[in-house]
Amino acid sequence: MQNNSIFSLSKRLLAVFLLVSFVFLLVIVRLAYVQLAKGKWLQSKAIEQWQRELPLNSERGKIYDVNGAVLATNYSTYDIYVRPSMVKDPKAVTYALCSELGLDFDETFKKVTDRFVSESLIKLQVEKSVANKIKENNLSGILFSENNSRYYPYKSALTQVLGFTTIDNVGQAGLEAYYNKYLTGVKGYILEESDVKGVKIDNTLSTYIPSIPGLNLELTIDINIQKFTEDALSLLVEEQKPKKASAIVMNPNTGAIVSMATYPNFDLNNVPRDNVTNLMETAKNINIVDVYEPGSTFKCLTMANSIDVGVAHLSDTFYDPGYRIVDGEKIKCWKLTGHGHQTLSQGLCNSCNAVFVDLSLRLGKDKMYEMFEKFGLGSPLGVDFLGESGGIVMNYDSAKIVDVARMGFGQAIATTPLQLITSICSIVNGGKLYKPYFVNKITDANDQIISSTNPTVLKNTISPKTSEIMRTMMEDVIKQYSGYYAFIPGYHVGGKTGTSQKYDGNRLSGEYIASFVGTFPADRPDYVVLIVVDEPGGASYYGSIVATPYAKKIIENIITYKDYKPSADLIKDIAQVNDKVKMPNVVGMDVNSAINTLEDLGLQVEIQNEGEIIRSQFPAPDTELSKKSIVMIDFN
């Protein structure tokens, strides 16, 4: 009996021992789990409770022009936060913030009194003077983190090229967006020890982790030539009242974009964010994104390719009665009475559609489409910019012979202005299609080069010999024919005008796009200038009148800026500007009488619409003109 009692006691003791051992083992396992599996997490949570960090925003990289002029920089602002645990007088803090920052009182008061968060953002990029007024109240719980806001010294210049940033300094459009990862720096922090209320503990060290500034961009843009371009475009808008207008100046020997402008634009320091749809439309760089039928400027490509592949020769002659019939469809020339007999060179100078229909048919469908591919049409060129369009080339199988005929003079095909000017550059530079680009190099804060851009040849388009022929032809256009409004006595200037009709679906809209592409100096081009005018609202829609004079202004300013001297072989031309005539009144005359009267005075005539009796003219009677100037007569 006694043995049974002892045995029963032993069992109970053993059970207690095992239970205690099991509990002890659980504690050991739990401690091991906490220490090994969750030790780092618990450590970080502990640090969060006694350590606070105040962000230090990095300085966004600057943007410079090719000569070092600052195009985009930064100025100091403050980001304002509130730390509720430190706030002693919530109403006073809320009032101080709302009165200076124009915030809603109730919403701000919620942030100020929300003890479940360590810090709340009140407002980004507050002007320094405003932040100082808030500081003067000496209220606890308000924190100030120095930041940088973007500033554009040239305001509306380069609106669509530079683009802009969001309120928190992230690139949103233009080069600011494309190169955002380079321009954006690395944020820093100030780490400090604080008590449970978030108050800094006295006699503790703060850790300073400095921010790293973003990288800088040096562009190919020359702000002086950019100003010439913007000024010319502003005058064009004032006088021609277009829906839109754009201009590009390019170095044909590298692909570097020297200037690029678009109307309408806006001050980059005051981005109109109240209407997002309108903002994104205005911020769009139509030189790179939008397409248009280039019209007669495209004839330079057809002419160059025809000569280069051997289907056209300088000795060829053509006859133009005012139209061609292809596949039963009548294709009219802009000169309804026709140009009669003319040489190949005269076909370009006269901008004769009939000649280019003939050249297109000689090339044929296969060679025409090979030409598109050779000149980079139908696909993006790879410019360092977001949203580049590749243009529109009709599907090969869908294209009829009449379509091919129209393509030769710039209809039934659409390009971007950038594609057109890049193609023209290859025609006058010896036959090299360069990849267009905006950025010369990327540097760090110590001016060390991180990367640089070397000119890249995408394709060879024509031979140097053909290029030489084309330079001469394009200069003849300016000296003798439709580009005369770009004539600058004593200087070699080449070019080609363009006028194309706009379509609304499959129907003509009654609106036009006028354009001009110029080369300077024509015999060895350093610059190519393109102006495109969408729906001009003035007296004319012809490129020779609407676009050419403004390209001339850009070239004239470049001549002065770069100190080009007159060519010795052209000194005689300087006297030509003094050879003046007065515009006669031809309203009421029949078309033949009007043309004869004007041509007898040495003027060149462009005709709008169809009819028998002239109803209007441009310019007005008695306007003084140089001989070879272009005038316009209209049946409406």
List residues with catalytic annotation.
Answer: 296
Q: How far apart are CA 585 and CA 594, in angstroms?
A: 9
What b/e sequence results for 255-271 when a residue is b if at least 16 CB atoms lie within 10 Å of its CB, and e otherwise? Answer: bbbbbbbbbebbebeeb
Q: Are 515 and 297 in contact (CB under 8 A)?
A: yes
CA dihedral 348, 354, 359, 364 (to 10 degrees): 150
Strand partners, 120: 82
Long-range contacts of 89-97, Cβ-Cβ distance < 8 Å, separation of 24 or more? 89/139, 92/137, 92/139, 93/139, 93/141, 93/142, 96/134, 96/137, 96/139, 96/142, 97/122, 97/134, 97/142
For the residues of 349-413, what is the DSSP string, one character each?
Answer: HTT-HHHHHHHHHHHHHHHHHHHHHHTTTTS----SSTT----EE--GGG--HHHHHHHTTT-SE
Label each residue of 42-108 as H, E or C: HHHHHHHHHEEEEEECCCCCCEECCCCCEEEEEEEEEEEEECHHHCCCHHHHHHHHHHHHCCCHHHH
3-state class (DSSP) for residue 293: coil
The answer to whether 491 and 636 have CB atoms below 8 angstroms apart is no
- In DSSP terms, 534 is beta-bridged to 244, 513
Please list, residue by residue across 575-606, b when 16 or more beta carbons sit within 10 angstroms of its beta carbon and e when fewer do: eeeeeebebbebeebebeebbebbeeeebbbb
CB neighbours of residue 550 within 10 Å: 26
Q: Where are the beta strands (DSSP E) in 237-373?
A: 244-250, 257-263, 317-320, 323-326, 329-332, 340-343
Residues 6+ apart with CB under 8 A from 534: 242, 243, 244, 245, 292, 513
- With beta carbons less than 8 A apart as the criterion, state whether 432 and 460 touch: yes
The Cα–Cα gap between 299 and 410 comes to 7
Peptide bond connecting 619 to the previous residue in cis, omega within 30 degrees of 0: yes
Length of the chain: 636
CA–CA gap between residue 471 and residue 428 (Å, rounded): 6
Whether residue 279 contacts residue 272, with contact meaning beta carbons closer than 8 Å, is answered with yes
Q: What residues have CB less than 8 Å from 519, skipping those under 6 apart? A: 252, 424, 428, 471, 474, 493, 494, 495, 525, 527, 528, 529
Q: Under a CB-based contact definition with an 8 Å cutoff, are residues 169 and 61 in contact? A: no
Counting Cα atoms < 13 Å in the Cβ hemisphere of 535 gives 9
**Greatest pairwise CA separation for the chain in angstroms:** 149
Confirm if 200 and 194 have CB atoms less than 8 A apart. yes
